[in-house]
Structure formats: C-alpha cells, structure tokens
C-alpha cells in the first residue's frame, strides 16, 4: 500500500471481527509484534527471493529464525504456529526457478526451529497451489479433502450428476452445452482425474431426456438437462468416448406422433382482456420455460407468447379439442406455428397408457408425455 495503516489498527480490527488465524506473507517485525498478547495464531512467510540464500547456508536459516521467530516467542508474546517457506514456489509461471532451493530451505528452517527448541510446536511448511482449470475438479477435491478431514480419506466417490442445460436460462443453450460436454468428455477420456484423486473417475452424465413436468423451483432450466429432446432426438453432435469424433447420437426408433396441428391465439379475436389470466392458466398446467428471459422463445410478442402457452397446454392434453378454447381466445390450426426461431412442439403418443388417433384428434392419454421440438 502507498499509505499503510498502523499494524495495531489492523490487529484491533481483526480482533473485533473474531478472526483467530492470520497468514502474513512476510515477517516484518513491526507487523508481527503488533500481534503480541492477542492469542491470534500466526503463519509467517519467507518470500521466494530469500529461498536461495536460506538453502545455501544453514547459518542464514538460523539467523532468520532468531530474528523473526524466537524474538517474538515468549510468554505473552506472539502465537506463531507455522513458517511458510516460500509462496507457491512451484507455480508454472516461475519456470522452475525455485525447484532446487525450496526443499533445502525447508529442511534448514525446520532444523533451525528444532535447534531453537520450538520445533515441536512451530512447523515449517511449503504452500502449494494446485492448478485448477475447471470448477468440476475444484468441487470434487473439496469433497475429497472434507472426507480426509472426517477420517475417511480413501472413500470412493461417484459423481451422480454432471451436465449442462440447453434452455430455460440465458446461459442454457445448445452452444454452451456442447462446449461443456466436449471439454468434459475429453477430460474423462484422459483418465487423469483431479489433483487430489488422479486416475479414472466414475461419472454419470445428467441427463438423458428432457423432462417437461419436472419441478422448476431451482430454475426454469431444470426441464432442459437432456442430451435428447422429448422424442429422443439428439440435440447436438458429440462423442461419448471423448476422442473428438463428434456425430449425432442415435435417436429412438418407433416413436409415434400426434397429428400435426397446433393451438394458437385466434387472430379474429379483438377483445383480449382475458388473455393474461388464460395465459397464466395454460402455463401453470404445462411447460412455458422456453419463454423466460434469455431462453429460446424469449423474442416472441404478446400474441406469440399466448400462442406458445396455449399450444403447450393443448399438446400436453393430447390435443383434446376442449383444451384449445380459453374463453374463445384460441383456435386449432394445421399450419406450423413455429416462428422467430421459436419451435412450437407437437406431442408424441404417450407410452403411459392406451392412445388412439381418430377423427382428426387424439383421445386423452393419462400419465406423462414427451414432446417433439419440430
């Protein structure tokens, strides 16, 4: 800092906030002495540029310990717990500059601490920074470390869910999902694991097929985690082996669809005062998550939003003609209602119960339904 605060001022602030452990990146006596009598546990550090000097001559290590540790280590003095030898000296950015000096410096400092009679309670250590390139590894190793602290360091970890949604949020789209899976599957193929658990990992991708009735309490994206659309069409090319030979996964065969018809806002209706409540009703009993901010159908106008909501309800009711009324606001059409890049779905025949297609409409089918995104 160009205008440093008094160490005593900072120490008082630390105490006021109930902080009990502090790491200092140097061992400046003015700063260290301000902690005397506080009981706060200190980690003192030796800067990287001092490692060569301390590693080359044991007397330099003795002098450092005398000046920076034992000087403050007295009854009512400073509670020193660790001496950090260097600061992440093995980072790649240092190009190996401290590879030959760090360990000899560590040995000399610990020897000097032992010789001074404090080595049983003040330990020398080397701060390492693991190079995390992704959140998955960081999360995984956080769990591994927690298990180790809990006394079960060798417990097997299986990742039950990892994936990326494709709709329902501004960051949930096909491009981001493909980017995620391409990188993740390449990582799995290398079988290099994480910094704390190298080797092969057992991981389940989440999920297989979109679920249009899943709870959206965590977010609208919850219904769009599938690698496949509602009718088991692959969303984007990928290679599950992680070798980069991307191609579309095989889709399901034998899927049957309901008639190509849609329920939309009646263009002849002029009085739209009842539009809002009917739109809300349709969305409450169907899936309108694609209409959310940043989602695939976010660019529709008021009439488009209504048509999308009406159609989703109509399709999820197996195209029952009674499901396309909405107080006279809606009408059935055989013209594809998709517009402005927004895909209006047509439902498939549900496997949850018997279904028949007769007289131009589908009979009501109980149970869950899947949807085709045309």
Instruction: Give catalytic residues, as residue numbers.
Output: 88, 161
Q: Which residues contact 240 (CB under 8 A, 6 or more apart)?
A: 185, 249
Buried b (16+ CB within 10 A) or exposed e, 110-124: bbbbeeeebbeebeb
Q: Nearest Cα to 136, choosing from 209, 93, 173, 186?
A: 186
Alpha-carbon distance of 336 to 123, in angstroms, equals 73
Alpha-carbon distance of 146 to 273, in angstroms, equals 57
Alpha-carbon distance of 262 to 331, in angstroms, equals 8
Bridge-partner residues for 330, per DSSP? 265
Torsion of CA 210, 307, 317, 354, to 10 degrees: -70
In the chain, which ranges are continuous DSSP H helix? Answer: 7-16, 29-32, 51-56, 58-65, 102-115, 135-149, 174-190, 275-284, 302-316
Q: Reduce the DSSP state of residue 178 to 3 states and report it.
A: helix
Alpha-carbon distance of 302 to 276, in angstroms, equals 10
């Amino acid at each position: 800092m160009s205008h440093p605060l008094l160490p005593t001022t900072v120490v008082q602030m630390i105490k006021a906030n109930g902080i009990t452990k502090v790491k200092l990146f140097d061992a400046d006596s003015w700063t260290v002495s301000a902690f005397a009598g506080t009981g706060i546990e200190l980690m003192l550090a030796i800067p990287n540029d001092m490692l060569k000097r301390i590693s080359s001559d044991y007397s330099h290590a003795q002098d450092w310990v005398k000046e920076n540790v034992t000087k403050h280590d007295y009854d009512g003095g400073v509670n020193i717990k660790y001496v950090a030898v260097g600061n992440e000296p093995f980072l790649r950015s240092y190009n190996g500059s401290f590879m030959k000096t760090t360990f000899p410096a560590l040995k000399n400092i610990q020897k000097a601490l032992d010789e001074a009679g404090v080595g049983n309670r003040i330990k020398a250590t080397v701060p390492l920074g693991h190079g995390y390139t992704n959140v998955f590894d960081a999360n995984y190793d956080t769990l591994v470390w927690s298990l180790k602290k809990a006394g079960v360091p060798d417990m097997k970890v299986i990742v039950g869910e990892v994936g990326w949604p494709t709709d329902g949020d501004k960051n949930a789209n096909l491009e981001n999902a493909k980017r995620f899976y391409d990188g993740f599957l390449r990582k799995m193929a290398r079988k290099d694991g994480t910094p704390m658990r190298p080797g092969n990992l057992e991981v389940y991708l989440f999920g297989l097929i979109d679920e249009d009735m899943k709870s959206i309490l965590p977010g609208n994206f919850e219904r769009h985690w599938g690698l496949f659309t509602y009718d088991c069409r692959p969303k984007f090319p990928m290679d599950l082996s992680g070798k980069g030979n991307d191609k579309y996964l095989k889709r399901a065969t034998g899927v049957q669809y309901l008639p190509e018809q849609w329920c939309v806002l009646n263009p002849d209706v002029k009085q739209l005062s009842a539009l809002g409540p009917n739109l809300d009703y349709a969305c409450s009993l169907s899936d309108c998550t694609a209409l959310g901010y940043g989602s695939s159908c976010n660019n529709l106008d008021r009439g488009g939003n209504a048509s999308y909501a009406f159609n989703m309800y109509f399709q999820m009711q197996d195209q029952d003609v009674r499901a396309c009324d909405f107080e006279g606001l809606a009408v059935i059409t055989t013209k594809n209602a998709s517009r402005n890049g927004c895909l209006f779905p047509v439902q498939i025949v549900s496997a949850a119960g018997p279904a028949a297609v007769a007289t131009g409409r589908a009979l009501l089918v109980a149970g869950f339904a899947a949807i085709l995104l045309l």
